[in-house]
Amino acid sequence: MARVLNQRVTWRLAAPIVVDGALVVFSVVASTLIWAGPQVHGQAAVLWVAAKMALLAVVCHLCLYYADLYDAQANGDSRDLLVRLMRSLGITSLLLAGVYAAVPALIIGRGVFPLAVGLILALVPVWRTGFDWVIDRVAPSERILIVGTRPAAVGLARELFERQRELGVRVVGFIDADPSRGHGRLSGGGVLGRIDEIPAIVAEHRIDRVVVTLEDARGKLPMADLLNIKLQGVRFDHLANVYEEFTGRIAVENLRPSWLIFSDGFNKPRRQVLTKRAMDLAAASVGLLIGAPLMGLVAAMVRLTSAGPVFYHQTRTGEGGRPFTVHKFRTMRTDAEVGTGPVWAAAADPRVTGIGGFLRRTRLDELPQLWNILCGDMSLVGPRPERPEFVRGLTEQIPFYGQRHSVKPGLTGWAQVRYTYGASVEDAMEKLQYDLFYIKNMSALLDLFIMFATVKTVLRRQGSR
Q: What residue segments make up the domains of the chain, in order of their start?
A: 2-137, 142-247, 270-459
The angle subtended at Cα 63 by Cα 62 and Cα 67, nearest 5°, is 120
Alpha-carbon distance of 395 to 307, in angstroms, equals: 36
- Give 186's Cβ-side CA count (13 Å radius): 20
Q: Which residues contact 400 (CB under 8 A, 6 or more apart)?
A: 252, 255, 260, 432, 436
Give phi and psi for 87, each to the nearest 5.
-65, -45
pLDDT in the model for residue 375: 95
Determine whether 411 is exposed, middle or buried from the number of CB atoms within 10 Å of its CB (0-12, 13-18, 19+). Answer: buried
pLDDT in the model for residue 320: 92
Instruction: Identify the helix (H) or strand (E) that includes residue 297.
Output: helix 270-305
Contact between 143 and 188 under an 8 Å Cβ cutoff? The reply is no
- DSSP 3-state of 158: helix
CA 107 → CA 96, 101, 379, distances in Å? 9, 9, 39
**Residue 288: Cβ within 10 Å count:** 16
pLDDT in the model for residue 463: 55
pLDDT in the model for residue 7: 63
Digit-by-digit pLDDT tens for the chain (465 residues) are 455 555 666 777 788 889 999 999 999 989 888 877 666 656 666 788 888 889 999 999 899 888 888 876 666 667 888 888 999 999 999 999 999 999 988 888 778 888 999 999 999 999 998 888 888 777 778 899 998 888 888 888 888 888 888 888 889 999 887 665 555 556 666 888 888 888 999 999 999 999 988 776 677 778 888 888 999 899 999 888 888 888 888 888 767 787 778 777 788 888 999 999 999 999 999 999 999 999 999 999 999 888 889 999 999 999 999 999 999 999 888 766 666 666 666 666 678 888 888 888 888 999 999 999 999 999 999 999 999 988 988 998 888 998 999 999 999 999 998 887 666 788 888 899 999 999 999 999 999 999 988 988 887 766 555
pLDDT in the model for residue 180: 59
Determine whether 333 is exposed, middle or buried from the number of CB atoms within 10 Å of its CB (0-12, 13-18, 19+). Answer: middle
Q: Helices 112-137 and 11-35 meet at what angle, rounded to 10? A: 150
> Which residues on neighbouring strands pair with residue 352, listed in sequence order?
332
pLDDT in the model for residue 136: 78
Contact between 383 and 407 under an 8 Å Cβ cutoff? The reply is yes
CA 423 → CA 33, 252, 263, 304, 431, distances in Å? 55, 19, 31, 29, 11
Reported for 286-290, long-range contacts at CB under 8 A and 24+ positions apart, including other chains, are 287/367, 287/370, 288/370, 288/371, 288/374
Q: Which residues contact 359 (CB under 8 A, 6 or more apart)?
A: 298, 302, 329, 331, 365
Contact between 396 and 462 under an 8 Å Cβ cutoff? The reply is no
pLDDT in the model for residue 251: 83
> Which residues on neighbouring strands pair with residue 374, listed in sequence order?
none
The angle subtended at Cα 408 by Cα 403 and Cα 409, nearest 5°, is 90
Q: Helices 112-137 and 43-66 meet at what angle, rounded to 10? A: 50
- The gap from C-alpha 421 to its chain's centroid, in whole angstroms, comes to 14
pLDDT in the model for residue 344: 64
Q: Which residues contact 114 (CB under 8 A, 6 or more apart)?
A: none
Pairing of strands 235-238, 209-212: parallel
Instruction: Identify the helix (H) or strand (E) that includes residue 328.
Output: strand 323-329
Alpha-carbon distance of 345 to 360, in angstroms, equals: 11
Sign of CA dihedral 328, 443, 264, 153: positive
Q: Helices 151-162 and 239-247 meet at what angle, rounded to 10? A: 30
Alpha-carbon distance of 419 to 178, in angstroms, equals: 33
What CATH number was assigned to the domain covering residues 142-247? Answer: 3.40.50.720
